[in-house]
Structure formats: C-alpha cells, structure tokens
Structure 1
C-alpha cells in the first residue's frame, strides 16, 4: 500500500501530471515540477482490462510501474498448483521494487487499471540523480516489508474471524483517517480474499455475514461496505 509523502510541489495546468489523482501518494510525487515533467516523458501510460496480466512471475523485471487507477493483485503459484495471493496494489502503489532480475509475483488487474510504465534502467538513473526519490523508494520498501510481516502474522496466528476483520481494516485503512459510515470499495472477489487470507471461500462469506449481523460493518453494495463500529472491528482484528 502507498504511504503518504511530504506535501507535493504545485504543478501548472499544462503539466502532464497535473490531473494525476494519486500524485500525493505516488513515489514520483516528491520530484520538482521540471524534473517530474522529464520523468513522465520516459513513462507512457498503460491500460489493462480486468483480468489482464501486467507481469508474470519470473518475467524479466525490465519495467517498473506506478498504479494511478484500478486495483492489482499479486499472486504466486505453489508447487501443488494452489494460488497464494501475496497482496493487493491500490492507486498510488508502486510495482517493481526488486533486487532480482525477475518479478517474484504475477500482477493481474482486478479492475480496469491504469499505470505509468517506466523502463527500469531509466528509472534507476532517475533515482541515482534524485535523492528525494531514493528516500521515497526506501520508505515504500520499508512499508512493503512491514506489510509482509503483517501477512505472516495474519496467516500464522489469527483465527478466521481475526483474519477477515483485519482485512476489512486494511481496506478501510486506504481512507485517511478511517471514517465510520464512509463507503469503502472492495472490488476483489471472495475467492481473491480467501486466497489472500488462507481461508475457504465459504468461510470468508460466513465471516463477512457475521460482521454484518453484528452491525460491525454494513454492506452497501455487492463490492462495498461501511465501517459501522470501528472500535469493535479493531477488537475483533486483534482477538
């Protein structure tokens, strides 16, 4: 998930990134307008329909990506053919931080998604020339490490109720701050949630229904909800 950076520089209306809705969250938001303009020239916009693959596991890591709209899921196939979802990327998140020459996960669009795509070599050169961007990437990498540790606790120690409650909090955490009675979208399927949490689809559906029945959350649509009782949701997530 994206982390918020320091206040971003103001842009003129003719700047190619003026209308970017996630510039405050994106790694490139720390660049000065003139540098950002040059940076954007090296990164064409790529569009993916729901279900399309952005990168496959073991693909050469020739590009890096900044997600400006939509939702991606990161997954890996296990030796026995099962799928494990490692996480979801939201607008403002960055794809491609790796010291390896290959992508460790498959990244697929859950919903129609838009990304700025940058050749890795050019991106690395920009990072080397711009310390602010390097610091921002360091913060993103540290956040990803913390998220990976959180995932280990989620899968290794928590009950089904705690896992689903934690996941709803993760989704709600995309709002800053978390506000009760605010619509929160979750376009991923129950199967995606199950593969992320290490549960059965039926278990995920049952736990979501239980949260609704207890008036902890309110389902406002097929793929949206509101937090009705934040304190209770946090208690359930912590056990």
Structure 2
C-alpha cells in the first residue's frame, strides 16, 4: 500500500493547524516566537488518515517529516522472513521521519484515525539553519527518542514477561501525563499483537500476563481499550525490577 508520501495520496486541509493546536507546547514549534511559527506554518500541510493507513514505508525516500497532532501510530520494521517487528508507538506531539539517511529506516502506520503536520524535509532543514531555537527543539526530541530506545533495550534484554508488560503500562501512563492527560486510566489503542511484537513476546503470553496482573489486582481492564492501574506501588516495583 502506498504511503502518504506518494504522489496520489494525502489531502491537505486548509487553514493553519497551529491556530487551535492542543499539543503545540509538546511539538517542535512550542518554543518558537510568533513570526517563527508563521514561517514554519508556511511549509506545512495538515494530513488526516484513517486507522490502518500507511504514513511512510520502510525504504521509501525520506522526503517528509511529520508531527503527530491527534491519534496513535505504530512504528515497525520488516524482517527478512516477512515478519513485522513493532519498534515503537507515537502519540500527539511526537515527531516522525527525522533521519540522516535518504530513505526511511522503518515503516509507520496509523493505529487510530490520525492528524499530522507534514513538512518537506528540504524546506525544514533550511529553516533549521535560520531558526536556532527550532534546531535545539528538534535535537531535544531526538535525545528523548534515544532514551526511549535505550530503555527498550533494557526491557527486552533483562526483564520477565510480567515486568515487560508492567513497564509498558507505566510507560503509557507517563506519556499521558506528558500530554497533560490524567495518568489513570491508561489508553491502550494498540492490539495485544502489537504489544507482543513490541515487547518481544507472543500474543498468548501478553494475554496471559494481563490476566495474571488482573488476578493480583494490580490492574483492571475497562471498556474502550483502557487499563486502570489499581495498585501503582506494586506495579511500579514490578516495572522497575531488574
């Protein structure tokens, strides 16, 4: 399926998406002055996608970068045998597509309906040279992504299934707080197969582990793909175990 970077895809909305943006303080434009925001707005288009739609394809020319403004996105890599490995999840305020390579090293697709700000890479790179604040903001976001990658390495290499699932829920909760949302309950828009791929487990193991956490009264599962953390202290201890 062709991603929105292809010629016959995304439809740009009219008007400035910065006017009523709820996550501006989280995005790369958050620290910019009004005139700098206007220059950034001049090179962006707003893109709306349905759940399941591709955003970028692994190996595709990295011509665009994106800021996610609503919804959730999965990142993945395709293995040599055709299997998919989920490498991360993005939420409003997260940046997508920054790379020193000429091609995307991953695929990305919408988990839920999403809205993104799309920037031509060449024009954004030119602005980075002219607006130091924008460059610093982007560097800070890249550093945050590196920290998440390091945490993921520890999670996959050192933790049990229960510790991985507990860490996952606590991580989602922390990211909600960052987006000015309540820490509890935790919204879990991805499937258990997505979670399993991300945690290096089988879907059956994830389901069994969630059931065990429910029996221990550490969590409860609510309607609308939400998980309520019932015992924060015990879940924290499990998540932080090494």
For normalisation by structure 2, the TM-score amounts to 0.89
Q: State the 1:176 CA deviation.
A: 2.4
Q: SS of 1:91's equivalent?
A: coil
* Structure 1 residue 175: Cα displacement: 2.7
Return closer, same or farther for 1:66/1:223 CA change in 2, 3 Å cut-off: same
Q: 2:220·2:228 contact (CA, 8 Å) conserved in 1?
A: yes
**Alignment partner of 1:165 is 2:166:** yes
How big is each residue's C-alpha offset from its partner over 1:86-142, in whole Å with a ceiling of 9 and x where there is no partner? 100100000011111110100000000000000001101111111111111111111
- Is 1:58 matched up with 2:50? no
In the alignment, is the contact (CA less than 8 A) between 1:51 and 1:111 conserved in 2?
Answer: yes
Q: Give the corresponding residue for 2:11.
A: none
Q: Secondary structure at the match of 1:199?
A: coil
Question: Displacement, 1:16?
Answer: 4.8
Q: Secondary structure at the match of 2:86?
A: strand
Aligned equivalents of 2:51, 2:19: Cα separation in 1: 26
Q: Secondary structure at the match of 1:100?
A: coil
**What residue in structure 2 maps to residue 189 of structure 1?**
191
Q: Which residue is equivalent to 2:239?
A: 237
TM-score (norm 1): 0.90
Structure 1 residues 180 and 24, CA gap change in structure 2 (3 angstroms):
closer
- Structure 1: gaps of 5 or more residues: 1-13
Q: What SS is found at the alignment partner of 1:19?
A: coil
Deviates more, 1:110-119 or 1:206-215: 206-215
Partner of 2:202: 200
Matches within 5 A, 1:207-222: 207-222=209-224
CA contact (8 A) 1:43 1:119 kept: yes
Alignment RMSD, CA only?
Answer: 1.8
Matches within 5 A, 1:1-239: 16-176=17-177, 182-239=184-241
The CA distance in 1 between the partners of 2:172 and 2:17, in whole Å, is: 30
What's the CA shift for 1:182?
Answer: 2.4
Distance 1:208 1:109 in 2: 24
Shift of 1:166: 0.6
Cα distance in 1 for partners of 2:100, 2:183 equals 41
